[in-house]
Structure 1
Amino acid sequence: MAVSALEVLGLGGLVALWLAWRVLEWGWLRPRRLGRALRAQGLRGTAYRFPSGDLKEDTRLLAAARTKPLPLQSHDIVARVEPLVHSSVSAHGKLSIIWFGPTPRVILNDPTLVREVLSSSKFREYRKTELPSNVINLIGKGLASHEGEKWAVHRKIIRPAFHLDKLKEMLPALIACTTELMSRWEDSMTGSSDNTREIDVWPELQDLTGDAISRAAFGSSLSEGRRIFRIQSEQFHLLTHMTNIYIPGYTYLPTKLNRRIKANALEVEALLKGIITKRERAMKDGHADDGDLLGLIMQSNMKESQETGSSQPMMTMDDIIGELKLFYFAGMDTTSVLLTWTMIVLSMHPEWQHRARDEVLRVFGNKQPDHDGVNHLKVVTMVLYEVLRLYPPVTLVERETHKEMELGGIRYPPGVKLLLPIITIHHDPELWGEDVHEFRPERFAEGISKASKDAPAFFPFGGGPRICIGQTFALLEAKIALSMILQRFSFQLSPSYTHAPFPVSTLQPEHGAQIILKKIY
């Protein structure tokens, strides 16, 4: 039957009306409903501005913050690092509303509420926010983004790889990587009359943790692992150029940036598939290698599949690839920024550098660190915790309501995002005392539970069942590397160093970490 031009026009008009309604609902009506529901319960905050909310203001505040480095010795960093969150909390209170696009973000600047959102009884009710496709291409779709049963299965399969006995087996790889870095630094001092050298330790420590991840994850495929690290390093750099402009579907546009991120992701996936395929063949031939992370995950995956009677592996090849990409991102970036800020802060506070070095030399002497000795590093542990408090690698964590939820006397409609501001909680004088912006590792002398008034108020690795599965690995790597650095070098800030912490994928030194190293033996 022929369709008349009038009918075609009529159908087109209906489609246009439907699209117009969807845009109106998405960008105007729904935000207004959510805003009214929250304000009716006493929450205050910024007013919604169509269509980008507070993104323009956030961009302006961040740009202004970048023009003003902090004074040396200053650890009062919140206003520079998260200026929109800081201004909202200051103006509207610890529970306040900001807008990223047409979605309200409610800032929960209260550790009690943060613990409840992250707790075992509630974590399934508050889902993680879906990441943009180009971020998924970068970090991989793994534990950090999975929900429900898939998250539970993956966590169960991956957990054995991070058991203490398995981490002990990774120590030689961590020591070997750090030894190579120390030798490189010492060689760079050849010809120096006073055995000193200025080095930007930020890229050096990125290389260290990337190499450590390569060895820990792919011990028997190290060359491919290092190639993956180089690509992922470029991906991290590209992440710094991602736009803050709120454009729905932006990540799918064929921009030069998005094309490069996608091409890198495809190359990493091809390399990982090659490594996994070789490992699968070796396992079938009875030559299984479970001495690295990949081998441990594949063995655990096979065991779980057998125990559940599944004819197919519980984790597919794509699943394993996603978890390994995530391990690269989380393991490399988090540990490298922790070590970098630790060296910066210990340069600012030489008395603590001396105390940490004395402890390391008392425990290890000039010998290589070992796991038993690491457990006796009380001062080093206190230092790392205080650095994580002042400079948390991840400054904000986000969750989303998918049904109406009651939290702290407020009923949150579905579709509201809850912002857990780790950095403002870590810098709250009501929780940590009036010396909150001072570097005082002794506040952790009796452990995390007694360090703050409302304990725990310390979330550098998240919390609850979804707490970072690699936190023990990250802290072990940091303790090993810091111990070996303290054994061989003293260090101080270079006059060229600019104190400018800034959030990218993690909290990073915007202009590098120029430090003067001095060989001490």
Structure 2
Amino acid sequence: METMSKVAITIVVAVVLSWGWNLLKWIWLKPKKLEKWLRDEGYKGNPYKVLMGDMIEFASVVKEGKSKPSPLTHDITSYALPFDHHIISKYGEKSFIWLGPTPRMYIRDPELIKEILLRSVEFRKPHPEPFRDSIIQGLLVTEGDKWIKHRKIINPAFNLQNLKIMFSAISSSCSDMVQKWELLTVGSGPTEVDVWPYIDNLAGDVISRTAFGSSYEEGQKIFRIQKEQIDLIFQMLIILQIPGRRFIPTQANKKFNQNVKELRSVLMAIINKRKKAIEMGEGKQDDLLGMLLESNTKEIEEHGVGMSMEDVIEECKLFYVAGSETTSNLIVWTMVCLSMHQDWQIRAREEIVNVFGDKEIYFEGLKDLKILTMILNEVLRLYTPVIMMTRATHKETKLGNMTIPSGVQLALAMMHIHHDPEIWGDDVNEFKPERFVEGIVNATKGKGSSPFFPFSNGPRVCIGQNLAMTEAKIAMVMILQRFSFELSPSYKHSPFPVFTLPPQFGAHLILRNMS
């Protein structure tokens, strides 16, 4: 018995020592080793602080940045990325920050970014990434063979033919929004309207219709829960990097966990109802969920393995965050830019009249909107919805003249590149859609198309970019046909990032009904 006790004690001591050693490596030894490598490579940043890194200062700077508007300018990098701007201003372009015990180095060379995005097997999404993982999973974060299979299953839902099918649902949602504005403005002359809540709801409305069709009301409920989850995450910024964060009994954490369960329950009910309808041969499956389930069934029949119920749930959640946020941002910043630059508003409206005349908008006409396409590209450049992408090394990896060790995050500074005068010229912070008159390739100063990547690039380019551009064009055509608009005196410029780049203080414009 005494021998067994000694063995048990020895095992316990060995486990505790092993756990302690691994903890020491995680919170101190590995970060210090990576810090030495970064400094040897000429990168500069704050000294590593145990466990928290730069997170306390980061949360403080973000909170302060959110509290006030920006000057009325398209030079928004310092406002939208206050902590990153602070670090880069302090340490130079070759700089890094600490996300807990993980260093994140800034990559601002477009050719290196292009290489990183093309080498998606070597440079993967960071895992785990608490901010992102708390809200979305699905195709956005899946890797390897699972990503290849999921992309194959989801791809058919976003082809040109299905975009045409979704055209009617998108048009109905846009028409509903425009009618609400007409009721606000008819017979009342110039009217101040905060257009942002309407545009935000429009994007959720479109995703609810195009993703869930007949389950539209439940779709709206998902949209509301997802918006609340993003707000709650911002309340928990400081504790996000702490292991076991979801068990910390704060009010925000409790509500977040309740929402996770409710969201899963709502989506399970929608998916099971749709699967049953497909099995019974009821109705056409012409929305994203129906197409996804049909494609998944085909994959299982042909290869034996497809997406699980959990996988389908995560893809549905991704429809909302990626689909609605990106498009609503593009539409609202287009309206703001056209309010600031009336000459381009007039040119866009004249083109719409030339293409559609007094007819209703039709799908094939969208491709003839050259001026509107130039405008949208310039808005995507200045107010890119996703302001920064991150990748990570999971083994020692060669990039340019560096060999990056495992465990380093790379921040692909999209917004900085879209605002770089060496790429776009000294007028980089001016709204000049004409820079795209000969296409994206010729818009940069001989740098090709790689510095312009609002929907990412390489194998993992955004699967929904054509849907987003189609929705933005339909919305802007309907708005420009019926209204002229300008900034209200109460407008506060506030492009501050959440997952994307919404106007945190709204978008107060003066609408004039043209009917």
Residue 120 of structure 2 corresponds to which residue in structure 1?
A: 123
Moved more, 475-484 or 493-502: 493-502
Match of 1:255 among 247, 250, 258: 250
Letter in 2 for 1:270: S
| 2:95 is equivalent to residue 96 of structure 1 | yes
Alignment partner, residue 165 of structure 2: 169
* Pairwise CA distance, 1:61: 3.2
AA matched with 1:328: Y
Q: CA deviation at 1:24?
A: 2.1
Residue identity in the other structure for 1:181: M
Q: How many angstroms does 1:365 deviate by?
A: 2.4
How far apart are the structure 1 equivalents of 2:3 and 2:322?
57
The correspondence for 1:317, drawn from 296, 309, 317, is 309
Shifted more, 394-403 versus 241-250: the winner is: 241-250
- Offset at residue 305 of structure 1 (A): 2.0
Q: Which runs of 5+ in 2 are unaligned?
A: none
User: Is residue 473 from structure 1 mapped to residue 467 from structure 2 by the alignment?
Assistant: yes
Does residue 215 in structure 1 map to residue 209 in structure 2?
yes
How far did residue 64 of structure 1 move?
4.2
- Unaligned runs of at least 5 residues, structure 1: none
Q: Which residue of 2 aligns with 1:379?
A: 371
2-structure distance, mates of 1:257, 1:33 = 35
Q: Which amino acid aligns with 1:125?
A: E
Q: How big is the alpha-carbon RMSD for the aligned residues of Structure 1 and Structure 2?
A: 2.1
Aligned to 1:339: 331
Q: In structure 2, what residue type is equivalent to 1:172? A: S
Helix, strand or coil at the partner of 2:502: strand
Matched with 1:36 is 36
Q: Which SS does the other structure have where 1:375 is aligned?
A: helix
Q: Within the alignment, does 1:183 sit opposite 2:179 as a pair?
A: yes
Aligned pairs for 1:221-232 within 5 A? 221-232=215-226
1:7 CA drift (Å) = 8.1
**Alpha-carbon distance, 1:136 to partner:** 3.6
Q: Which residue pairs with 2:262 in the alignment? A: 267
* Pairwise CA distance, 1:407: 0.5
Give me the whole-angstrom Cα distance separating, in 2, the residues matched to 1:21 and 1:136.
Answer: 27
Cα distance in 1 between the residues matched to 2:469 and 2:12: 60
Match of 1:54 in 2: 54
Q: Which residue of 2 aligns with 1:457?
A: 451
Aligned counterpart, 1:307? 302
Corresponding residue for 1:418? 410
Distance 1:137 1:102 in 2: 19
CA-CA distance at 1:8 after TM superposition: 7.5
Deviation at 1:202, TM superposition (A): 1.3
The 1-side partners of 2:177 and 2:295 are apart by 33
Q: Give the whole-Å Cα distance in 2 for the aligned partners of 1:68 and 1:211.
A: 30
Deviation at 1:55? Answer: 2.2
Q: Is the 8 A contact 1:134 1:258 kept in 2?
A: no
**With structure 1 as the length reference, what TM-score do the two structures score?**
0.93
Size of the alignment, in residue pairs? 512
CA contact (8 A) 2:211 2:287 kept: yes
Whole-angstrom distance in 2 between the partners of 1:328 and 1:59: 26
Tell me the alpha carbon deviations over residues 418-447 of structure 1, each in whole angstroms, 9 at most, x when there is no partner.
Answer: 110111111111111111111111111111
Given that 1:366 and 1:487 are in contact with CA atoms closer than 8 Å, whether structure 2 keeps it comes out as no
Choose which of 147, 150, 173 in structure 2 pairs with 1:151: 147
3-state secondary structure, aligned to 1:247: coil
CA deviation string 1:45-97 (max 9, x = no partner): 3332223222233234334434553222x111111111232233344443322
Q: Percent identity?
A: 47
Whole-Å Cα distance in 1 between the matches of residues 440 and 256 of structure 2? 39
Quick check: 1:357–1:486 contact (8 Å CA) kept in 2?
yes
Q: Please say if residues 85 and 107 of structure 1, whose CA atoms lie closer than 8 Å, have aligned partners that are also in contact.
A: no
In the superposition, relative to structure 1, how do residues 36 and 152 fare at CA in structure 2: closer, same or farther (>3 Å)?
A: same
CA 1:123–1:209: 2 relative to 1, 3 Å = same
Letter in 2 for 1:359: E
TM-score scaled by length of structure 2: 0.94
